[in-house]
Amino acid sequence: MIEFENTFKTLPKFLYEEVTPTPIKNARLVHTTSLVQHLGLRELGPEKLKLWLNGELTLPGEERISSHYAGHQFGVWAGQLGDGRAISLGELKTPAGGRLVVQTKGSGLTPFSRMGDGKAVIRSSVREYLCSEAMVGLGIPTTRVLAILTGDDRVRRETIERSGLVARVFPTNLRFGHFELCFHLEMEEELDALIAYTRTTFFGGVTTEEMLTEIVARTARLMAQWQDVGFCHGVMNTDNMSVLGLTIDCGPFGFLEDTELGYVCNHSDHQGRYAYNQQPSVGMWNLERLLVCFVNKVPREKLQEILNTYPDIFEKEYLRLCRRKLGLLGQDAADYKLFVDLLQTMSKLSFDYTFTFRQLAGYRRGNPRSLREVFDYYGNREEFLDWLRKYDLRLAGETGSDEERGLRMKETNPKYVLKNYIAQEVIAEVERDRADRLAAWLEVLYRPYDEHPGFEAYAGPTPPEHKHYEVSCSS
Ligand code: AMP
Ligand code: MG
């Protein structure tokens, strides 16, 4: 039985509005994930599922709302925002005893649409769909997706595009911006209710200080994980920061290709505020914006102390992941330097991030020829050979064989990541209402550490003609 328990609606009315979705025209259900089963929605069947997600059918107990939040965008207070094109259909009780929100993105105007049209295009829907599930495969906390639909509305972006709709799933839609809204608009009672709700519903009833400590830790670990796989989010505004430490709102993202450390994936980010190598410090800046909202609840010194735990948690976690990327079991004080040396070398030589780390799994001590594929592609690069000599010295202090290290490294260095040109290939097919490539790529992305015959070409360095694919906020 499909059952809802809508806890968000116990919050003050200020935090949400009831809304009516605008169905997309001639909706087609292009693809669904295993979440259909997980959420107990199988009994609906594909046709009813499509109608429900598209706002053409209601289910008993559902409640459609858009939530109200605020935020700092590109470092500037943006004031009131909210779900401008997203509608939560309700909180489903799952067969396993959990509770998850189903939210559709692209469901038309809401009271928070501001200048927007409330629509999503196929391109942005596919990107969010693939990226969410790619994160699952990489073991990174993320919102999930349930289904993707295409429609025939003509939507104006840089050009005219067709409409899409993605149904996503998360325990809660709460962002830093929800707290900022209540605090900056001096909605004291609403802020108290929001804090109590968040603590009890999602953090097991811990104290406010404990909850904030946990949010800081989760965000720090998330940033370390993004850096590890070379993920660049692109729009780390505080309204895109999940209180649960989930990757959320994947749009103009990019995975590192040429290991350009100052890589800015979002073409709309003119200042490079959200460059790859800025993400960890932006994470902390965003947390400070969140913690400020608690100045009347928690002593200032305590808030500062909580914020100050961030660098340490990030550095420890990142160092752990860096060692793992290099296949190191032991700990040497110079490991971080060794890792950064490699990154800088790769950056200088424009080596592909994913390809190079994956190839390193096949490295045999003292034998650069074991990296034949790298040298065949990039030539005999002296700087890289120098680094390999340092790696040799470090590996001499490790126990275990090259083969064992190689196996470990293949479990931690993905062979496949969702590069922009790959997303683009899938988008082109979905634009033609075909989901074969989408389905095939999902299988690869769910298991990015495995071999996938037929996809070998995508594990190499990005072909020059597919580099620098431009994505913007409308992506
Ligand atoms: P984003 O940075 O993409 O997460 O979006 C920032 C804000 O703009 C959020 O409040 C969105 O809900 C809103 N927004 C983005 N695109 C649209 C759109 N097409 N129509 C209405 N609101 C939008
Ligand atoms: Mg957003």
Count the residues in the chain: 475
Report how far residue 138's alpha carbon sits from residue 369's, in angstroms, rounded to the nearest whole number: 29
Q: Report pLDDT for 468.
A: 78
CA distances from 226 to 222, 290, 447 (A): 6, 20, 17
Compute, in angstroms, the gap from residue 146 CA to the centroid of ligand 1: 20
Distances in Å between the alpha carbon of 360 and those of 9, 61, 129, 373?
Answer: 51, 53, 30, 10
Residue 5 Cα to ligand 2 middle (Å):
25
> pLDDT value at position 205?
98
Give me the average pLDDT of each 10-residue run along the chain (475 residues): 96 98 98 97 98 98 98 97 98 96 98 96 98 98 98 95 98 98 98 98 98 99 98 98 98 97 95 98 98 98 98 98 98 98 98 98 97 96 97 96 98 98 97 96 98 97 91 83
pLDDT on residue 472: 84
What is the whole-number distance in angstroms between the Cα of residue 115 and the centre of ligand 1? 9
> What amino acid positions are annotated as catalytic residues?
239
Please report the pLDDT score of residue 470 as a whole number.
81
- Ligand number nearest to the C-alpha of 253: 1
- Dist CA 261 CA 351 (whole Å): 11
Pocket test for ligand 1, best of 113, 128, 143, 173 (most atoms within 8 A of CB): 113
Q: Which residues line ligand 1 at a C-beta cut-off of 6 Å?
A: 81-85, 113, 116-119, 235, 237, 239-240, 249, 251, 473
Ligand nearest to the CA of 70: 1
User: How many Å lie between the centroid of ligand 1 and the Cα of residue 85?
Assistant: 6
Closest listed residue to residue 222, CA positions, set 307, 292, 142: 142
Q: Which residue type, as a one-letter code, is found at position 210?
A: E
Q: What's the pLDDT score for residue 342? A: 98
Atom 16 of ligand 1: nearest residue by CA position: 116
CB 422 within 8 A of CB 458: yes
Q: Which amino acid makes up residue 271?
A: Q
Contacts of 380 (CB under 8 A, 6+ apart): none
How is the chain split into domains, by residue range? 3-175, 328-410
Q: What values do phi and psi take at 180, rounded to 5? A: -65, -40
**Closest listed residue to residue 2, CA positions, set 39, 52, 51:** 39
Closest Cα to atom 11, ligand 1: which residue? 84
Residues with CB under 5 A from ligand 2 (ion): 240, 249
